[in-house]
Amino acid sequence: MDFRFAPEQEEFRAQVRAFVESELPVEWERIDPEGERAWEITCEFQRKLADKKWLAMAWPPALGGLGADLLTQLIYHETMDYYHAPAFTMAVAWVGPAVMLYGNEEQKARLLPRMATGEDVYCTLYSEPGAGSDLAAMQTKAVLDGDDYVITGQKVWTSGAHHANLGWLAARTDPTASKHRGLSTFVVDVDSPGLTVRPLINMAGQHAFNEVFFDGVRVPKANLIGEPGRGWYNIATALEFERSGIEWIAKARRRLDQIIAHVREHRDILENNPQLRFELADRAIEVEVGTLLCYRTIHLAIQGKAMTYEASASKVYNSELTQRVAQTGMKVFGPYAGLGRDDPRSPLTGQLTHSIQSGYLWTFANTIGAGSSEIQRNIIASRGLGLPR
């Protein structure tokens, strides 16, 4: 596999970089990534992306995309994530692809174009208090009543539910079936009567997560995506799209570049702690390895091959790498690393500790979200190595 990019692909990367540098406000990395100002910037930036057909770049033009190939999309996301640009949407990343595969023609025509323009903002309603890593154990119920399904239950750790107007919901429609076979997937209006969103504040002091309660919420049968009871396959497919992303490694590379730039300006850091030189070298090598894992996953997708365990390998390696890079940064900056973004002495304007996915306080969640590292290793063992359950 040759992962070198052609000149026209590198030219496109330069175009994306120039767009970010011109359109993303300079204040972006200095503000609370979960604050209201950050959300305003996100919405405005994504509108500009939608105007260029970049928000859903790989989607067909008829659905609001450019019809770009997967490698072009990879370059786009890698560049955007390196700059921490708010180009990501759950709708485009995994809800839309699942709707394309399992939705009917009416659902595709109704839902997909509004994802591509960013008009509809989605949250993902999977995890429950008793069903996190064992996702198939979810107990939220969906009972058919006439032309509606009535939803009762609770979801937790729902990212962005306080901004979303629609949710990608998994619920149990057949309580008598085995836990993997009784699930179905729906699109639900977050403003529906009986649906309550409550904030969860993470240890970085930010409102990113929520718990969501369903008390007799009625969802039209027309919003059932795919066949009843086949929801687990919809979820598994959507998770493969989620796990195959390059966002972890791109953000880890940016953070490491910033750390190394600081060390080069302050040579006394390595003089006082020579071991850090070897640690930084290890991180640099690991970033290259993680990048190649992502490229391999995309290479398989381009060939139309399954990428289940390869996506898991990329996810577990790169999400854990963000933790190691952040820990190395904490050693480099010492006691100052813990200062908040409002303190002028805070290194990298607080990004080292508070940035999404690459900040020290955030990286702990990276090995849980989109499937914990333990689950990923089980997938690699069973599907990749053929080991018994």
Fold of 122-230: Butyryl-CoA Dehydrogenase, subunit A; domain 2 (2.40.110)
Q: Is the pLDDT of residue 189 over 70?
A: yes
pTM value is 0.89
Q: How far is residue 104's CA from residue 225's CA, in Å, rounded to a whole number? A: 8
369: its two tokens = 């979200």
338: its two tokens = 């813990």
Mean pLDDT, residues 343-348: 85
Q: At 241, is the pLDDT very low, low, confident or very high (cuts 50, 70, 90)?
A: low
Q: At 298, is the pLDDT very low, low, confident or very high (cuts 50, 70, 90)?
A: confident
Domains 122-230 and 244-384 share a fold: no
Range from 103-117, 172-186, 239-253 carrying the lowest mean pLDDT: 239-253
The burial class, CB within 10 Å (0-12 / 13-18 / 19+), for 290 is buried
Residue 48 confidence (pLDDT)? 97
Q: At 239, is the pLDDT very low, low, confident or very high (cuts 50, 70, 90)?
A: low
Mean pLDDT, residues 185-202: 97
Query: Which amino acid belongs to residue 285?
Result: I
Q: What is the mean pLDDT of the chain?
A: 91
- CATH of 244-384, picked from 3.10.20.340, 2.40.30.10, 3.40.50.2000, 1.20.140.10, is 1.20.140.10
Residue 346 confidence (pLDDT)? 84
| Percent of the chain surpassing pLDDT 70 | 97
Residue 245 confidence (pLDDT)? 64
Distance of CA 123 to the CA centre of its chain: 11
Domain boundaries, the chain: 7-88, 122-230, 244-384
